[in-house]
């Protein structure tokens, strides 16, 4: 019996997704399928050009399999051992993660190879409590004989799509992978497997037994500095400079303290030094965090997973969060502003009401 | 001895200032001088056209005296019995009120008619604690023989300049006038005098023994709804609709409660019903409050007098204000953004520092 490499489906062909797919491809321990929407034709004909700080200049790279959509992947007849989601996570947008992956979940169930088989869903995404909509989906679609593992990934990477099939990768790919549920032994095993499968001499990937803690630590930045820049529509260093005596002490520190308090209510003690490290790290860079970029591009923000969900935990555990709440409520309005500009929300000026 | 009408100098020839000057003119108990900057030539040649909900269609109206600047008014040799300031009050901008009026304060002192004379400075402006910079100015410039009275005015009026010397006045002029210091008997007397001088059959002007209380009540709107719309860059009803379950309960009510608490710490009990009345009043109007208009026009906001000064009172009196603070700190950054766009603040992207 010949060893058959596992098949990975990477969903999300932006800067991050393509790099993730390329790392898997480079490690050469799996076959890599990529869902490529808008760049499909170009990808099929000439492949990707990647300028990577980790891998150098890559010309005309093509993944093993290319699909135009998740639906097409589902129709392919393939069973995907790993479904890796690197899209933005926007439950209040038109494509929540559960809806995005549903076609391949259903096709995988149909194409299930054997009772010993399993499928691992790897969410390499921002935020917290992102697994629940997937768990709900699996409850609706799956059955006892379909063993799905839920893997949680936190990635630090600077990689952007600068043109059709043109990727610019600017800061080292660093990934933490572990089970959403630390007690799920199969998910632990598959996480280790994924780490091996992803590992290249150039990138940095490691098993993390408690990714939830890592997610809280990442929220120290995303729920505070990222949200603030999106609200005031200015890069981070301008925020610090224009509010010389107030931005750090009055916005960032209180918000970070609240994230620490929420994490602590779950038993996670974030080192208070983290706040200072994060505040100082980009002080001298004119850096635009992801939510600010979204606002500038009239794209929906990852609002719920980055700040809405942490506030739900705070409410459940009775943690006071006046700063985060105000940031969140202002962003809820701004998200509506983006939806109206995108045309997915219609406001009637005559009645002063949302009509759709 | 013939009765000589008092001479009023109105500073600020926007929609509000011109209407204020016209009301004084119409009442015909004073002579009215107006400082007209950009529209000076036009005003001199053809005067103002005013479309007024109170006074009807007014063509080619000219005040008794017209000055191109406060400096020109100062050079005129006139003594102004009333100096009426209707400009925006922006202490952190290039023209704080004390600097604006300084030339006529100095010329008035030079032209002081007699020991029995007095000059009344009437600040018809938003915010709170706006008198202190004027008091400081008078301490520096005045002497015991120069009796200045400080009058406080709160105006509700919808009046805008729609073109050169073209004014559109859309909602009834309603003014409260009283002394900044209720114990200053001369200021009380002059306030009554001003009310008589301003009163026309069409407008609504009344003596208010405690304008500070009225200022707090006006801040119930300005420090909360006005600030919020400026931050998210959306009219009031969109704010309500886009944050259906959060805008009122999570932003406006908490902020209004904090204004009530600060006012209470000074002994002013604002009727809690005020909150509901203000929230409901414009719910069905696609209305853009003044600070939102400022942001849209890249004009400085009346940030300090509307929310900065209330927070100083809160700090002094130990009132908790987490919501107002967050709104304020975000607006401080946005004010910086406006200053940079105006070119009065220079940010060097290489050093990530404000250089001027």
- The residues spanned by each domain of chain B are 7-209, 213-342
pLDDT over 70 (residue A2): no
pLDDT over 90 (residue B2): no
Query: B174 forms bridges with which residues in the sheet?
Result: B156, B204
Q: What is the mean pLDDT of chain A?
A: 96
Q: Report the SS3 class of residue A199.
A: coil
What share of chain A has pLDDT > 90, as a percent?
93
**Interface probe with A: pick from B329, B338, B351, most Cβ of A within 10 Å:** B329
A7-208 fold = Rossmann fold (3.40.50)
pLDDT in tens, A183-206: 999 999 999 999 999 999 999 999
Give the distance from CA B61 to its chain's centroid: 24
The set of residues, in sequence order, having a beta carbon less than 8 Å from that of A208 and lying 6+ positions away, is A154, A176, A177, A178, A214
What share of chain A has pLDDT > 70, as a percent?
99
pLDDT over 70 (residue B93): yes
Instruction: Give CA separation, A50 vs A26, A32, A61, A293, in Å.
Output: 13, 17, 8, 22
**Contact criterion met (CB < 8 Å) for A326 and B326:** yes
pLDDT over 90 (residue A285): no
When pLDDT is cut at 50, 70 and 90, the band that residue B282 belongs to is: confident
B 86-105 → A contacts, CB under 8 A: none
Q: Read off the DSSP letter of residue A267.
A: T
pLDDT over 60 (residue B176): yes
When pLDDT is cut at 50, 70 and 90, the band that residue B144 belongs to is: confident
Q: Which of A268, A270, A261 is nearest to A317 (CA)?
A: A261
The set of residues, in sequence order, having a beta carbon less than 8 Å from that of A136 and lying 6+ positions away, is A98
Tokens of A123: 């969410």
Nearest CB partner across the interface for B332, out of A246, A340, A345: A246
SS (H, E, C) A7-19: EEEEECCCHHHHH
For residues A23-36, give the mean pLDDT. 97
pLDDT over 90 (residue A69): yes
For residues B273-295, give the mean pLDDT. 93
Neighbour-count burial for B136-161, b at 16+ CB within 10 Å, e otherwise? ebbeeebeeebbbbbbbbbbebebeb
pLDDT over 80 (residue B281): yes
When pLDDT is cut at 50, 70 and 90, the band that residue A142 belongs to is: confident
**What pLDDT does residue A3 have?**
66
**What pLDDT does residue A144 have?**
79
B 304-323 → A contacts, CB under 8 A: 322-323
pLDDT over 80 (residue B3): no
Q: Report the SS3 class of residue A285.
A: coil
Nearest CB partner across the interface for B333, out of A234, A286, A327: A234
Tokens of A145: 């004989």
- The complex scores an ipTM of 0.94
> Within 10 A of A283 (CB to CB), how many other CB atoms are there?
14
For residues A26-53, give the mean pLDDT. 96
**What pLDDT does residue A75 have?**
98
Task: Show the CA angle centred on residue B41, arms to residues B65 and B126, nearest 5°.
Answer: 65
Spell out which residues of chain A touch residue B335, defining contact as CB-CB under 8 Å: 242
Spell out which residues of chain A touch residue B333, defining contact as CB-CB under 8 Å: 228, 232, 234, 238-239, 242-243, 247
Query: B262 forms bridges with which residues in the sheet?
Result: none
What share of chain B has pLDDT > 70, as a percent?
99
**Minimum Cα–Cα distance from B243: chain A residue:** A333
* Distance (Å, whole) CA A271 – CA A221: 14
For the CA atoms of B210, B213, B218, B222, the dihedral, rounded to the nearest 10 degrees, stands at 130
**What pLDDT does residue A158 have?**
87
Helices A322-342 and B322-342: crossing angle, nearest 10°? 50
Residues in chain B: 356
Query: B205 forms bridges with which residues in the sheet?
Result: B175
pLDDT in tens, B216-225: 999 999 999 9
Nearest CB partner across the interface for B352, out of A254, A285, A345: A285
**What pLDDT does residue A340 have?**
98
* Distance (Å, whole) CA A223 – CA A254: 11
Instruction: Give CA separation, A48 vs A33, A166, B333, in Å.
Output: 14, 6, 41
The CATH architecture that domain A213-342 belongs to is Orthogonal Bundle (1.10)
Helices A309-316 and A322-342: crossing angle, nearest 10°? 150
Tokens of A188: 């632990």
pLDDT over 60 (residue A121): yes
**Contact criterion met (CB < 8 Å) for A251 and B336:** no
Cβ pair A196, A53 in contact under 8 A: no
Spell out which residues of chain A touch residue B234, defining contact as CB-CB under 8 Å: 333, 336-337
When pLDDT is cut at 50, 70 and 90, the band that residue A117 belongs to is: very high
Spell out which residues of chain B touch residue A254, defining contact as CB-CB under 8 Å: 322
Nearest CB partner across the interface for B239, out of A231, A333, A349: A333
For residues A40-47, give the mean pLDDT. 96
**Contact criterion met (CB < 8 Å) for B283 and A352:** yes
pLDDT over 60 (residue B1): no
> Within 10 A of A2 (CB to CB), how many other CB atoms are there?
3
For residues A226-255, give the mean pLDDT. 97
When pLDDT is cut at 50, 70 and 90, the band that residue A356 belongs to is: confident
Interchain CB contact of A231 with B (< 8 Å): yes
The CATH architecture that domain B7-209 belongs to is 3-Layer(aba) Sandwich (3.40)
Helices A253-265 and A309-316: crossing angle, nearest 10°? 60
């Amino acid at each position: 019996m010949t060893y058959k490499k596992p098949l990975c489906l990477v969903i999300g062909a932006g800067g991050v997704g393509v790099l993730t797919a390329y790392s898997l491809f480079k490690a050469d321990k799996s076959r890599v399928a990529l869902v490529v929407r808008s760049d499909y034709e170009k990808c099929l004909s000439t492949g990707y050009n990647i300028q990577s700080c980790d891998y150098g200049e890559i010309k005309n790279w093509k993944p093993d399999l290319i699909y135009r959509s998740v639906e097409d992947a589902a129709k392919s007849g393939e069973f995907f051992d790993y479904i890796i989601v690197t899209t933005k996570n926007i439950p209040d947008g038109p494509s929540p993660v559960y809806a995005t992956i549903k076609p391949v979940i259903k096709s995988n169930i149909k194409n299930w190879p054997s009772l010993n088989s399993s499928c691992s869903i790897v969410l390499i995404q921002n935020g917290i409590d992102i697994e629940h909509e997937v768990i709900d989906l699996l409850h609706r679609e799956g059955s006892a004989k379909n063993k799905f593992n839920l893997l949680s990934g936190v990635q630090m990477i600077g990689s952007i799509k600068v043109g059709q099939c043109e990727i610019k990768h600017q800061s080292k790919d660093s990934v933490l992978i572990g089970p959403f549920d630390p007690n799920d032994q199969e998910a632990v095993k598959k996480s280790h497997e994924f780490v091996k499968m992803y590992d290249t001499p150039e990138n940095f990937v490691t098993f993390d037994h408690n990714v939830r803690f890592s997610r809280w630590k990442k929220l120290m930045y995303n729920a505070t500095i990222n949200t603030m820049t999106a609200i005031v529509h200015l890069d981070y260093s301008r925020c610090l400079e224009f509010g010389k005596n107030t931005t750090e002490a009055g916005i960032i520190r209180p918000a970070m303290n609240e994230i620490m308090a929420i994490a602590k209510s779950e038993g996670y003690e974030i080192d208070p030094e983290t706040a200072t490290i994060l505040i100082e790290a980009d002080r001298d860079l004119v850096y635009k965090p992801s939510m600010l970029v979204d606002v500038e591009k009239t794209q929906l923000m990852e609002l719920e997973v980055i700040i809405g969900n942490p506030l739900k935990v705070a409410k459940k555990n009775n943690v006071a969060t006046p700063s985060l709440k105000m940031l969140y409520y202002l962003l809820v309005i701004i998200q509506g502003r983006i939806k109206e500009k995108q045309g997915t929300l219609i406001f009637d000026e005559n009645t002063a009401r949302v009509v759709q």
